[in-house]
Each structure stands twice: as C-alpha cells, then as structure tokens.
C-alpha cells in the first residue's frame, strides 16, 4: 500500500481528440501536440515518465525505457467542463451534462437576482472574462453593478470592481446566485471574478472563488469515512463544495499550487493530496496562448523533477487532466479530449496502462490502494503498477 497519493490535475492538458469529439465540435483538438511543437516547450521529466509513449501519440519520439506507468483516459460523462471531469475521476459519472446558456440566462432570473442582491446587473451573455471587464468595467464601477456572463461551459460568472463592490459582498452575491440556480438552471459552477484598476487597465485579482453543486458520494467521502486525510490544493475544495475534504491549501495560480504541493511532501499523513494547477486552462488555454501554455508546461516539468526526487518510497504520484483546451484551435473553449494518466513511484512497475474506459479508474485505484470497498464505477490499475 502507498501511504500517500499525490494526484495532480494539469487543468486542460488533453492528449488528443476523444472518440466522440465530433459531437462536441472538437475534431482535431490535441492540446499536448499543440504545445509540444512550440519552442518554449520542455518536458524532460514527463517524457521520462512515458508521456509520449502513450498509445496514439505519433508526433513525438517514444522515450526509451520509461520510469513511470503511462496511458490515457476516456471521459465517460456527458460534458467537457471542470466539474464533470474532476467528479468523474472520483467516481461520479454524469449522464446528463450541466446546462449551458449560449443566449444568456433567462431575463426573469436576472431580474430576480438583481432584486435579491440589491445591485444592477450588466451583460448577461457569453463573453471572454478579460474582454468583458474591458468593455463594461467602467460602467460597472460607476453604477456599482455586477457583470454577469457565461461561456460554453456551465458557469454563472459574476465580475465586480473591488472598489465599487467589496470582495465579501461579491461572495455574498455568488452565494445568492448559487441558491437560485436550481433545476434546469443548475449550472456546474458560480464563479466570483473580482477585478481592479482603471479604464483601459483593468485586471482580474487572484481572489476568484468557485461555488459548485454539491456532489453525490464519491471517493473523497469514502476516504474521509475511513479516517484518511484528504488535502485539497487549489480549486479542488470548491469543485467538490468541500465535501470529503479534511484540509485545504489555497492557491490561485500554478506557482502557488506547486509550492503548496511541495510543502505537503514535508508533512506526515496517510491519504490523498488532490491538486489542481489552473493556469494551463485559465490563463493560456482560454486565451489561445500557445507560447504561454508551452512555457507553463516547461515550468511545471522543471518543478516536477525536484518533486520526484523528494518523494518517499511509499508515495505514489498520479498526473492527469480534466479535459482539453487546445490553444492552437480557433475555439477558446474546452475540448473533448483523452486525458493522460501518468503514475510514478520509486518502486513502480513501468507499464503501458493503455486506454482507460473512464476517468473513474483513477479514483478506483486510490480506494483499492487503501483497501476501501465501494460500489463506484471504474477499474483499478493498482496491480498493474505494483
């Protein structure tokens, strides 16, 4: 048994179009391929783990004698958003996708929301998060208004200038929205998007906060019930609405997330450290910034080398993603892709894990390791790597 498992989600780092990509408009999407051909890319550590030995990777040389186990996962749930992907890893298959609102939210909902929170509401349509504050930031500041917008994902995003609507007030408004969004309006996440600055120079602060739907019982709950530690780094706790989490480490970007994860190597615990590194998706994927995406991967890979060397003999490292977000396609939305699954420990059996039928194999492997029986879906690959 591994005493500590570190599961790191490289948010949006997909590894090629899924079999049903056409249904999502994502034929040809391949996030890793797009960034690995960029001059900023460097992935020595991930390559040594077997990243480019994964089945179907034909654009990069195999690594001779990988030191990790490697494969890719197929998403079984309907959807390609953050919540759906993370939930499936923990054994929740979402048969019905969370609702999206390509034409904005119903006018009566927006009116009722405005009345309940006591602020005017602007926009109410799909928009880029950076562009919407550029276009409406001044009006929002002058009117002490909330900017409500969405995207191709199932999100109700609320932006507000911190000098017009204080952070705690914005969070309160998000909590009101979360309570209102039920039934057919039950979006995956309500997201607080505070910003600051002056006209022409608005920037989003690091105080983003996600308010997710409460998930069904999943791997995190089983771990907690078995008195295992469940440490959430980054937005993991928000994605699971805190359910099953025993401790959380706040991080707003990749460097903070990596630093928090490294510090957990110094702690003695038995259980799971579940990490999300958000910048790949939030900062680079959604902005079609191939250069930045490739550079961020290189920075992660360099950090990973140090992390690997600092692991204990009874640690297991799992690296995956929750969906794709190919920065080289015209779309700025998530892409329906396979996700990599990389496993490493100091005594691992280097093996090709093949093409997994569901992200839930990850959660099943974790519960199998801790001898926790569940009726959750998935097939453990623990025996393959031991």
Residues 203 and 227 grouped into a single domain: no
199 with 223, same domain? no
Q: Which residue, of 212, 246, 279, is where some domain finishes?
A: 212
pLDDT attached to residue 294: 98
Over residues 17-73, the pLDDT tens digits come to 999 999 999 999 999 999 999 999 999 999 999 999 999 999 999 999 999 999 999
Has residue 100 been placed in a domain? no
User: What pLDDT sits at residue 153?
Assistant: 87
Q: By the 8 A CB rule, do 126 and 156 touch?
A: no
Tokens encoding 357: 């039928």
User: Same domain, yes or no, for 307 and 242?
Assistant: yes
Q: Check whether residue 280 and residue 377 sit in a common domain.
A: yes
265 & 154 share domain: no
Check: CB of residue 380 under 8 Å from CB of residue 357.
no
Residues 137 and 125 in one domain: yes
Q: Which domain holds residue 42?
A: 4-95+214-385
pLDDT of 205: 96
Q: Of 212, 245, 271, which residue sits at a domain end?
A: 212
Based on the fold, state whether residues 115 and 91 are members of the same structural domain.
Answer: no
Q: What is the CATH number of the domain that holds 143?
A: 3.30.70.1250
The Cα–Cα gap between 46 and 28 comes to 23
In this prediction, residue 100 carries a pLDDT of 94
CATH number, residue 322: 3.40.720.10
Asked if residue 2 lies in contact with residue 366, where contact means CB atoms within 8 angstroms, the answer is no
Q: Cα 27 vs. chain centroid, distance in angstroms?
A: 21
Give domain status of residue 102, yes or no: no
Q: Give the closest residue to 81 by CA, choosing from 179, 137, 152.
A: 152
- Residue 58 maps to a domain: yes
Same domain, 255 and 369: yes
CB 25 within 8 A of CB 295: no
pLDDT of residue 152: 85
Provide the whole-model pTM. 0.92
Are 76 and 116 part of one and the same domain?
no
CB atoms within 10 A of CB 42: 18
Same domain for 208 and 218? no
Q: Which residues of the chain have pLDDT under 70?
A: none
What does the pLDDT read at residue 31? 98
Asked if 229 and 359 sit in the same domain, the reply is yes
Is residue 349 a part of any domain in this protein?
yes
In a shared domain, residues 141 and 155: yes
End position of a domain, from candidates 212, 229, 264? 212
List residues bridging with 8 in a β-sheet: 275, 319
Q: Does residue 101 belong to any structural domain of this protein?
A: no
Q: CA nearest 91: which of 360, 357, 272?
A: 360
How many structural domains compose the chain? 2
Interval 98-149: pLDDT, tens: 999 999 999 999 999 999 999 999 999 999 999 999 999 999 999 999 999 9
């Amino acid at each position: 048994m591994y005493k500590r498992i570190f599961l790191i989600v490289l948010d949006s780092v997909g590894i090629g179009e899924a079999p049903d990509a056409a249904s999502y408009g994502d034929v040809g999407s391949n996030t890793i391929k797009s960034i690995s051909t960029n001059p900023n890319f460097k992935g020595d550590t991930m390559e040594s783990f077997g990243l480019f030995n994964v089945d179907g990777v034909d654009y990069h040389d195999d690594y001779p004698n990988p030191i990790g186990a490697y494969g890719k996962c197929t998403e079984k749930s309907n959807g390609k958003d953050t919540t759906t992907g993370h939930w499936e890893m923990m054994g929740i298959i979402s048969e019905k996708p969370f609702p999206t609102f390509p034409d904005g939210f119903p006018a009566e909902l927006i009116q009722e929301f405005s009345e309940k929170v006591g602020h005017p509401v602007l926009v109410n349509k799909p928009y880029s998060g950076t562009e919407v504050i550029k276009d409406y930031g001044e009006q929002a500041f002058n009117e002490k208004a909330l900017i409500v917008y969405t995207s191709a994902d199932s999100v109700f995003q609320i932006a507000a200038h911190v000098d017009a609507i204080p952070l705690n007030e914005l969070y309160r408004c998000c909590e009101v929205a979360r309570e209102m969004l039920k039934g057919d309006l039950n979006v995956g996440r309500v997201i607080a998007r505070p910003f600051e600055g002056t006209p022409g120079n608005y920037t989003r602060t690091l105080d983003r906060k996600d308010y997710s739907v409460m998930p069904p019982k999943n791997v995190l709950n089983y771990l907690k019930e078995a008195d295992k530690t469940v440490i959430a780094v980054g937005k993991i706790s928000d994605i699971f609405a805190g359910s099953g989490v025993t401790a959380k480490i706040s991080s707003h970007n990749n460097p903070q997330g990596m630093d928090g994860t490294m510090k957990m190597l110094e702690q003695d615990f038995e259980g799971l450290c579940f990490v999300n590194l958000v910048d790949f998706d939030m900062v680079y994927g959604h902005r079609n910034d191939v250069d930045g995406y490739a550079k961020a991967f290189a920075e992660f890979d360099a950090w990973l080398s140090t992390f690997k060397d600092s692991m204990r003999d009874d640690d297991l490292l799992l690296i995956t993603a929750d969906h794709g977000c190919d920065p080289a396609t015209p779309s700025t939305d998530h892409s329906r892709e396979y996700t990599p699954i990389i496993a490493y420990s100091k005594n691992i059996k280097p093996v090709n894990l093949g093409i997994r039928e569901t992200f839930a194999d990850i959660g099943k492997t974790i519960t199998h390791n801790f001898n926790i029986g569940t009726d959750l879906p998935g097939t453990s690959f623990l025996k393959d790597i031991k």
